[in-house]
Structure 1
Amino acid sequence: MACQCNHSNLLEETLDVTTIPHSVRHPAILGAISALPVKGTLLLKAPHMPNPLLGEMQDLEGEFGHEVVQDGPSEWVVRICREG
């Protein structure tokens, strides 16, 4: 789902996934996404397009969307938002 949240959040945090150990990366990121308040956003910085994670995100309780802010080639930034 495309992100429909207000992106004027000046306090938007960036989560650099390369700083998270690979063995716990997806659970840690999904936990951070789950903790977002309604209309909250998070920038996810990754070394590749996080398609598998975006698929897993749809299994979380709540409604989430995303939009690609930076599409490579060495770094991807994806805005995750909690719609409801």
Structure 2
Amino acid sequence: MRVSSIRMGPLPKTQNIKLTFACPASLKADLDRYAALHAQTYDEAVDATALIPHMLETFMAGDRGFRKGTMAAKASPPKQP
């Protein structure tokens, strides 16, 4: 296995729900290049679409504002109707 400096590790096995979205062609090209580097690094072929959920999870986990808002929402008691 060749070690690289990419941020994302091997992909975990998870249950998935299909979600469709549109992105610019330049982003799709970047995703394809990242997928190729990921496959080369971990000796396992991976499609760019398989990387997107993990990239989003990593992004959201690193977003302090989102985490702070999520914690605040969990700490607040539910509003009565």
TM-score w.r.t. length of structure 1: 0.27
Point out which structure has higher relative CO (alpha carbons under 8 A, 6+ apart): 1
Higher strand share: 1
The structure whose Rg is larger is 2
